[in-house]
Amino acid sequence: MQTNIEGKIPNSNVSLSPDSDLIAALQNILARSRMIIPDLETPYSKLPSANHSNIKRDDSSISAVITERQQQLDAVSHEISDLETIMDSVKNHHQQLVEKKEKIIQSMNFHKGLVSVLWRLPTEVLAQIFHHCLPDFRRWEHAYSWPCLKREAPMVLTRVCRRWRDVVVGIPSLWCKLYLRKHRKWEQAAFCYNLWLKRSRGFPLSLALNCYENDATTLRSLLQPYTNQISSLYIECFQGANAERMWKDLPALQELTIRANRKLPAAPQTVSRLPFTLRNLKLVGQFVGPKRLSSLNPIFAQLTNIELAVHQPNALLHLLQLSPNLSSLTIGIGPGLLRRALQPFTHVKLQSLRIAYVYDCTLPKLFNALSLPNLRMLVAPDSRPWPHEELKALLARSNCPLESLISGNGATTDEQRAEYIALIPSLEVVVDPKYRDYLL
């Protein structure tokens, strides 16, 4: 039922405004609804179950009952209509009050902020705080994809107050990391991604992509205006993806991580044409054989950090030979057979060697072949038996400034650890069942 401009129900004395009138009208309806239901019994009420022949019927009397019932029905229907109108008005009024309450709270919080220490903090201090609010992007597989991004910093910070929004939007470095994927609502997702990337204002970008079949063209088109900014790229490739397009022609690229559960036939050619700015290369989820190492040869000389898996220790030594400037290596060594004896090799710049896994008894042979005079961190997997004598010989031969030796639980004994420290007094030996965390 519609109400007029004064808030009254047409043909009714029920008023819907202001608040006190609305409440009074509702109370009036409720009071009337508590009236005792009249006795509706008549001499004819039991007629269907009685002996019809014994009851005298007076048509005029029955008509009077029907007329009375119609009047009662009209009155009750009118009350129901009034009550429904009141209920609709109460519902609408409740929504208005909720909105009013939210605006009051926002205004109150805003004015509280004026006297808050946070309001008086310099923009530079707020910027540092906001950077600590960002999600942890060190492991891209835990990054947040759209639309969850709007519930994380920096997006969520823009909705706190006007000043915070101005500060957050004005700090390009808060918008330099982003996880993208081909979303089913692509137009909406692309708009959000593009707005995010524009706010980076030319700063170096660290991006992560999920690339399925035919996704590369769409994602590459989105990123085309920002290719000169991309310094770090993590890309997860799935079956049928033409992912090679994503890491071509990126003149500022310094770090590339390719995660794939299959061999990418074109990867060696496209990776070998990467810019000379590249310093970090990670190939995850596949073994790299000798032929592929050779195809990647042009870029190894410039790399300082590598993470990949090889089939056998010979490939590891070949990798070290191809990478004279390497300072950090995370390596997995597969179950491939040794085709020839490991030749002694010295790498003078390697500071960090993290061995994710190794098969058979190759760890002692590897320790016997290597000399690493600049080694500062060694992470080694459990190996039974542990190559204690071979590691001691490596440390003595290298005369390295080793600072940390990290292994899995039970790999070394107290006596063995004491011997390592005797060789290098400043050495910290860590036995940790979660030693794999140090591989990240």
Cis ω for the linkage preceding 251 (within 30 of 0): no
pLDDT in tens, 151-161: 778 988 888 88
pLDDT in tens, 84-136: 887 888 888 888 889 999 899 888 877 776 676 767 788 899 999 999 888 77
The pLDDT of residue 192 is 87
Burial code (b: 16+ CB inside 10 Å, e: under 16) for 260-282 equals: beeebeebbebbeebeeebbbbe
The pLDDT of residue 176 is 93
Cα three-residue angle 341-347-353, rounded to 5 degrees: 90
Look over the chain and give the mean of its residue pLDDT values, rounded to a whole number: 80
The pLDDT of residue 339 is 66
- Read off the pLDDT band of 264 (50, 70, 90): low
Three-state DSSP state, 293: helix
Pairing state between β 230-237 and 205-211 = parallel
Nearest to 267 by CA among 289, 327, 320: 289
The pLDDT of residue 381 is 84
pLDDT in tens, 126-160: 999 999 888 776 555 544 444 456 677 898 888 88
Judged against a pLDDT cut of 90, whether residue 290 lies above it is answered with no
pTM for the predicted model, two decimal places: 0.69
- Read off the pLDDT band of 163 (50, 70, 90): confident
Domains along the sequence of the chain with CATH: 1-36+61-115 (no CATH), 280-440 (3.80.10)
The dihedral through the CA atoms of 396, 401, 403, 404 has a sign that is negative
Judged against a pLDDT cut of 60, whether residue 206 lies above it is answered with yes
